[in-house]
Amino acid sequence: MAFLAAKVLLEESFIRYGLELNLPNSIDSLIRRAIQDDSAELVITDCIRKRFEEFKDKSARDFEFIETLRCVKCNHKEPLSSIKCVMDIAKNMNKSKDKYVVCSQKDLYRTDLRRLSGVPLIYFNRSVLTLDTPSKNSNHFVDASVANRLGVSDAERELLGMEKPKREEPAHNPFVDIHHHKKNPNPLSCKKKKNLPPPPSANADGKKKNRRSKKHRSSEVLALEVAKD
């Protein structure tokens, strides 16, 4: 399986500092050794190139070095400072197909770059080229990517101290909802309820019957008394 060569984006402060060291080995060979990729490609942006063109007469050696690097388009209409241009590319790197290892020398610049996830950093520690340790944001980014591929459960995420992925709610689709909503009953198939008469009350009938029987008995007694007289 063939792997794509790494792309290394050199920021202005890194280039100027590296050339001032006058190291016996070239900067590109040191970088390739640090990332263990002999076919790594060193690049700069249009904005960085314009920065070196401004000081071409004062720093001819620096300009000669950037001439050996490939220039990638950054799509900035107005030239930005070196770090602003690199930061803009690094912020969108997770969404882009182009991935870069970023080389920057100033501490302030590296602090800003460490806040971004998935951005490898290289800098000079005095005269020693150093590959920066991954930041917490980068570690969380890698953990989340691996977890999504392996299908780690929520309980396992809590055990590992990983954040739960945000679940996106499905978009409202009116065409789907039409077929899945609760249907009302067909009025033609529904029979009307018949109004049945209330059942007769047993107590009421019993009382009436008793009253009638008492009257009947009293009339019989009176008839007998009249007959005797």
* Chain segment 24-42, per-residue pLDDT in tens: 889 999 999 999 999 999 9
- Is residue 104's pLDDT more than 60? yes
pLDDT confidence bin for 167, thresholds 50/70/90? low
pLDDT confidence bin for 110, thresholds 50/70/90? very high
Kindly state whether residues 36 and 121 are assigned to the same domain. yes
- Whole-model pTM? 0.59
Kindly state whether residues 98 and 156 are assigned to the same domain. no
In a domain, 15, yes or no: yes
d(CA 30, CA 103): 12
Kindly state whether residues 123 and 142 are assigned to the same domain. no
Kindly state whether residues 63 and 139 are assigned to the same domain. no
The mean pLDDT of the chain is: 76
Kindly state whether residues 22 and 123 are assigned to the same domain. yes
Sheet holding 121-125, edge to edge: 70-72, 41-45, 7-10, 100-103, 121-125, 128-131
**Structural domain boundaries enclosing 154:** 135-164
Q: What percent of the chain has pLDDT over 90?
A: 43
Kindly state whether residues 153 and 122 are assigned to the same domain. no
Determine the pLDDT at residue 97: 86
Structural domains in the chain (count)? 2
d(CA 150, CA 87): 31
**63 phi, psi to nearest 5 deg:** -70, -35
In a domain, 119, yes or no: yes
Kindly state whether residues 69 and 154 are assigned to the same domain. no
In a domain, 192, yes or no: no
Kindly state whether residues 125 and 149 are assigned to the same domain. no
Among the listed residues 153, 150, 149, 121, the one whose alpha carbon sits nearest the alpha carbon of residue 134: 121
How, if at all, do strands 7-10 and 128-131 pair?
A: unpaired
pLDDT in tens, 174-195: 544 445 555 666 666 666 666 6
Kindly state whether residues 38 and 151 are assigned to the same domain. no
Residues 6+ apart with CB under 8 A from 119: 90, 93, 100, 102, 113, 138
Kindly state whether residues 151 and 58 are assigned to the same domain. no
